[in-house]
Amino acid sequence: MLKKHYGYSKFREGQAKVIKSILQGNDTLAIMPTGAGKSVCFQIPALLFEGITLVVSPLISLMKDQVDTLVGLGIPASFINSSLSNKEVDRRIERTAAGEYKLLYIAPERLGADPFLELVKQLKISFLAIDEAHCVSQWGHDFRPSYRKIGPFINKLANRPVVAAFTATATEEVQEDIIRLLELCDSKLYITGFDRSNLYYSIFRRADKKSFLLKYLRDNSRETGIIYAATRKDVEKIYDLLTEEGLAVGKYHAGLKDQERRYFQDEFLNDNLQVMVATNAFGMGIDKSNIRYVIHYNLPKNMEAYYQEAGRAGRDGEPSECILLFSPQDVLIQKFLIEQTVNWPARKKSEFDKLQTMVDYVYTAKCLRKFILEYFGEEDIPENCNRCSNCNDQKTVDITEEAEKIFSCIVRMGNPFGINMIAGVLKGSATKRLKSLGFDRISTYGLMKEHSLSEIKDLINQLIAEDYLQLTGGKYPVVKLRPKAISVLKDCQPVIGKITMATEREEEVDDQLFERLRSLRKLIAQREEVPPYVIFPDSTLREMVRLKPLNNQSMLSVKGVGEVKLARYGSEFMREIEKYIQEKENI
């Protein structure tokens, strides 16, 4: 099945175990990073089970694209959502009951409607797959109340199907919620690992964001990417800036009309736009495989959201970049959004704590990949990945003297204060409040006056990230010493930090054949009215460039070319490759 429909001769890590569990009739929870091939894990069992598979998917706007991809693979599938008339819904149910489809995609909102339950009673449902299952938990991100309808829906079915839930990110707390709220029975848990080795993580603190963006997009003008911003206002500003520069750019946020959002999304999926500027409303379920970079223009609200959004880069396994641009103002924006949208005190505290974890990520001296993987519970991670800016663009320095000054200042200030006040004392600022508290008379006043305020704040944040200091939760956090800081003051323990070095990246060599194959893919996609990645992902085109197949047997050896796609598109791509070779020989 894998070779026939998908063109691959072996499964990716974890896929075979998840598929085997499902085929053995076990309820299954699979936590697999974006790009690890979750969809294969429910699509292949769907083909092998005798009856129908229902797939619960959160975004109706993307169901058609997902179904188009399946049909392009030779897999019979359809979808039901609010874009269809009642008559068309009835027709698709009838065709499913007649055995014309193996997979039927549905939105979670539909599961709570009794008329729909009556319709599906005529189906033999063997398997229920739940995509983006973290949406069921209010402790995760992207909480969707409609996901709470899935458990009761399962219980109303005459015969309980095998149930499998899939997500890219889930802490232990969210995992427990998924199992309990979806009512999984004696479920098997599979965590295939969160690492995406093809992604390069970079953080730029206090960069001129607009200048950085324009230079990066000019340097990567042939590549496709997503820029995430925290607010609609920022999305509009970035969109206007890039449009004025003549870039092929789209925008996506909840304030746009449905028709406008759909237009930009389709243009992006069809490679007519190189860049999408969006809030986190854009992206869930995006199957576009050739996204070469994801830039976060602002700090995301938590690690789960960041890792899922960043993971939309490089789904084809090709090298891709995940860049985070940070300024202290980002933290204030996210705190404001939390205050405006979260009312339950326990939930609000949890959101503030998760935001602080993101700040720690920005300032950590350790490997960025290690920080991420440890957050999701992985162990025995190498100290240096050589695939992040902390490992490659920073050098280790002794910051013991600076740390001792900061720790001593916190002790002499007595009661706990925030980062700004501590930095002000060390800088020797002459504000009224600082003087009214008598801090201009303590021995640490002005002790770091040779540093800028922003440099002192960065040092304090780095010490928080490395567990020397604690920043209390809530809207107005204060700084306290941790045991590691006491050891520095009492036992003269050294403190090692990192500073960023300027580096230049090697530019990728432009490949003429790759561009020609990409152009051919675009023509075929337009002809068949599907997004280009449905024809072949970039990784498959790159392998064609490397292998230059000129017959059916060699084309089948290309990863991503199965029997169905060979029959549909193989001859056109082989002709283009042969034409290119002949032109080169005649030069």
Question: What gap in Å lies between CA 484 and CA 443, rounded to an integer?
Answer: 23
Retrieve residue 145's tokens.
């109340």
State the pairing for strand pair 479-481/469-471: antiparallel
Token pair 């956090």: residue: 477
CA distances from 226 to 51, 327, 419, 495, 518 (A): 39, 19, 33, 38, 20
**Mean pLDDT score, 219-227:** 94
Q: Is 290 helix (H, G, I), strand (E, B) or coil?
A: coil
Token pair 């490395």: residue: 466
Instruction: Answer whether residue 507 shows pLDDT above 60.
Output: no
**Mean pLDDT score, 280-305:** 86
Token pair 């009835």: residue: 90
Question: What gap in Å lies between CA 498 and CA 25, rounded to an integer?
Answer: 51
In this structure, are residues 426 and 454 in contact, taking their beta carbons and an 8 Å threshold? no
Instruction: Answer whether residue 194 shows pLDDT above 70.
Output: yes
| Cα angle value 263/266/268 (rounded, 5°) | 110
What's the confidence (pLDDT) of residue 182? Answer: 94
Neighbours of 509 (CB within 10 A): 6
What's the confidence (pLDDT) of residue 285? Answer: 57
| Cα angle value 378/379/384 (rounded, 5°) | 100
Query: DSSP label at 496?
Result: E
Q: With both helix axes pointing from N to C terminus, report the angle between 15-23 and 38-48 in degrees, rounded to the nearest 10.
A: 30
Q: With both helix axes pointing from N to C terminus, report the angle between 453-465 and 345-363 in degrees, rounded to the nearest 10.
A: 110
What's the confidence (pLDDT) of residue 474? Answer: 67
In this structure, are residues 44 and 94 in contact, taking their beta carbons and an 8 Å threshold? no
Question: What gap in Å lies between CA 562 and CA 43, rounded to an integer?
Answer: 15
In this structure, are residues 544 and 558 in contact, taking their beta carbons and an 8 Å threshold? yes
Instruction: Answer whether residue 46 shows pLDDT above 80.
Output: yes
Instruction: Answer whether residue 502 shows pLDDT above 50.
Output: no
What's the confidence (pLDDT) of residue 364? Answer: 92
Token pair 């549905």: residue: 106
Residue 586 pLDDT level (bands cut at 50, 70, 90): low
pLDDT digits (tens, 9 = 90+) for 479-488: 999 999 999 9
Instruction: Answer whether residue 505 shows pLDDT above 50.
Output: no
What's the confidence (pLDDT) of residue 283? Answer: 65
Q: Is 479 helix (H, G, I), strand (E, B) or coil?
A: strand
pLDDT digits (tens, 9 = 90+) for 145-177: 899 999 999 998 889 999 999 998 888 889 999
Residue 77 pLDDT level (bands cut at 50, 70, 90): very high
3-state SS of 357-390 is HHHHHHHCCCCHHHHHHHHCCCCCCCCCCCCEHH
Question: What gap in Å lies between CA 74 and CA 68, rounded to an integer?
Answer: 10
Residue 422 pLDDT level (bands cut at 50, 70, 90): very high
Strand partners, 228: 278, 296
Instruction: Answer whether residue 61 shows pLDDT above 80.
Output: no
Residue 443 pLDDT level (bands cut at 50, 70, 90): very high
What's the confidence (pLDDT) of residue 508? Answer: 39
pTM, two decimals, is: 0.75
Instruction: Answer whether residue 368 shows pLDDT above 80.
Output: yes
CA distances from 549 to 174, 180, 554, 575 (A): 46, 50, 5, 10
Question: What gap in Å lies between CA 187 and CA 117, rounded to an integer?
Answer: 25
Residue 500 pLDDT level (bands cut at 50, 70, 90): low
Q: Is 510 helix (H, G, I), strand (E, B) or coil?
A: coil
Strand partners, 480: 470
Question: What gap in Å lies between CA 238 and CA 247, rounded to an integer?
Answer: 11
Retrieve residue 431's tokens.
């504000």
In this structure, are residues 464 and 360 in contact, taking their beta carbons and an 8 Å threshold? yes
**Residues in the chain, overall count:** 587
In 3-state terms the chain splits into helix, strand, coil percentages (rounded to 5) of: 50, 15, 35
Retrieve residue 483's tokens.
């045991």
Strand partners, 103: 53, 77
Distance of CA 464 to the CA centre of its chain: 26
**Most confident of the following: 169-178, 231-240, 300-309, 448-457:** 231-240
Retrieve residue 317's tokens.
């396994």
Question: What gap in Å lies between CA 297 and CA 210, rounded to an integer?
Answer: 9
In this structure, are residues 314 and 88 in contact, taking their beta carbons and an 8 Å threshold? no
| Cα angle value 296/300/306 (rounded, 5°) | 80
Residue 248 pLDDT level (bands cut at 50, 70, 90): very high
**Mean pLDDT score, 48-65:** 86
When the pLDDT of each residue in the chain is averaged and rounded to a whole number, the result is 89
**Mean pLDDT score, 238-265:** 92
How large a percentage of the chain has pLDDT more than 90? 59
Which domains, from first to last, does the chain contain? Answer: 2-191 (3.40.50.300), 199-394 (3.40.50.300), 395-499 (1.10.10.10), 512-585 (1.10.150.80)
Q: Is 14 helix (H, G, I), strand (E, B) or coil?
A: coil
CA distances from 338 to 301, 327, 344 (A): 9, 18, 11
Neighbours of 269 (CB within 10 A): 22
Residue 81 pLDDT level (bands cut at 50, 70, 90): confident
What's the confidence (pLDDT) of residue 275? Answer: 96
What's the confidence (pLDDT) of residue 485? Answer: 94
